[in-house]
Amino acid sequence: MFLRHQTRPVNVGGVIIGGNNEVAIQSMCTTKTADVEATVAEILRLEEAGCQLVRVTVNNEEAAAAIKEIKQRIHIPLVADIHFNYKLALLAIENGIDKVRINPGNIGRRDKVEAVVKACKDKGIPIRIGVNAGSLESHLLEKYGYPTPDAMVESALYHIGILEELDFHDIIVSLKASDVPMAIEAYRKAAEVIPYPLHLGITESGTLFAGTVKSSAGIGALLSMGIGSTVRISLSADPVEEVKVARELLKTFGLISNAPTLISCPTCGRLDIDLFSIANEVEEYISKLKVPIKVSVLGCAVNGPGEAREADIGIAGARGEGLLFRYGQMIRKVPEADLVSELKKEIDAIVVHFEET
């Protein structure tokens, strides 16, 4: 476990962000929020993948009105993404939203900011301040000339200042940029001066492949420094993929307690079984499990037993068959055709054991 930066804990609809809690995984719906059926269906898929908070855009009154029914049909906190329009924020709050993502400095007149803050206070709803390198305030662009990590931190402090002046402290902050080194530096500097939980993200990071690499590089660097209380991977892909990547990333740093791990070898000339298909099938099978089981799928017995020692269950391929290992000990030989089904049975038995203990 990496030493985590301490922050104030913030309650988002029952999920506590920051403090001593695990890093929470977020995603965002791609549907029109007013389309309740499509939005609920997408959120239920995200829940199944392990998403813990989900954001929807609230860009009109129909979207704000839909929040009430969406909330009744989902099981994770719902976050409203609002730009400028304080009336939509008030409607979303009235309809039961769990968190509002809005920058108070962009709302406009003081009385409008006060109305949103009062509504959030009354219902115990936190506000996420979302600084984005691509939309910094003009006074900061004038001061710094172009987006910089310091300008981003100053922007965050500006919005935080407005909320603190109104004695509001249930704050979460993000400082997103699509430039990875800039985002890392902005978050690193922010963690030194901001006591609130940081929501990590590399914005507009790209497609499933490129965006996964880019997000993992940026968010991974920050997680390794103990920075970040919640993450969102932004991909031009099905948002379920965002959750899968986030879980894998958190697992890499030992920051998630309920995720399975697959260990598989890259294969080489010693291989005598179709390892790639087996590994993909096993990965798919364990992907929805919510227990920290370790499964290894190795091409041969040369390194198999040693590597499998770290795993709860695993196979090592041989010619036309495989050796089944449990905690590094071979338990039996299985024909190649039955390898995956036998492995799945063993996985199921271990999952039952995890759930009972």
Contact of 68 with 93, CB cutoff 8 Å = no
Sketch the per residue contact string, 321 through 340, with ligand SF4: x for CB under 6 A, - otherwise: --------------------
Query: What DSSP character marks residue 290?
Result: -
Work out whether 268 is an interface residue with ligand SF4 (CB under 6 A). yes
Please tell me whether 307 is known to bind a ligand.
yes
User: What character string, x for contact with ligand SF4 (CB under 6 A) and - otherwise, covers 215-254?
Assistant: ----------------------------------------
How many residues make contact with ligand SF4 (CB under 6 A)? 12
Interface with ligand SF4, residue 270, by CB under 6 A: yes
The radius of gyration computed from the CA coordinates of the chain, to the nearest angstrom, equals: 23
Q: Which is nearer to ligand SF4, 115 or 271 (CB)?
A: 271
Q: Does 300 bind ligand SF4 (CB under 6 A)?
A: yes
Exactly one of 277, 303, 329, 341 binds ligand SF4 (CB under 6 A); that residue is 303
Contact residue for ligand SF4 among 145, 266, 355, 357 (CB under 6 A): 266
Among candidates 195, 124, 184, which has minimal Cα distance to 157? 195
Interaction of residue 319 with ligand SF4, rule CB under 6 A: no
Assess contact for 116 and 166: CB atoms under 8 A.
no
Is 300 marked as binding a ligand? yes
Q: Least CB distance from residue 344 to ligand SF4, whole Å?
A: 21
State the DSSP H helix or E strand holding residue 305, giving kind and residue range, or none if neither.
Answer: helix 304-308
172 forms beta bridges with: 128
Which has the closest alpha carbon to 113: 131, 80, 90? 90
The C-alpha torsion from 15 through 121 and 36 to 33, rounded to 10°, is -100
**308 near ligand SF4, judged by CB under 6 A:** no
Containing 39, the helix (H) or strand (E) segment is helix 36-49
- Give CA–CA dist 14/16, Å, rounded: 6
CB of 311 to ligand SF4, least distance (A): 13
Nearer to ligand SF4, 54 or 279 (CB): 279
Q: Is 265 annotated as a binding residue?
A: yes
Distance CA(110)–CA(107), nearest Å, equals 8
Positions that interact with ligand SF4 (CB under 6 A)? 265-268, 270-271, 298-300, 302-304
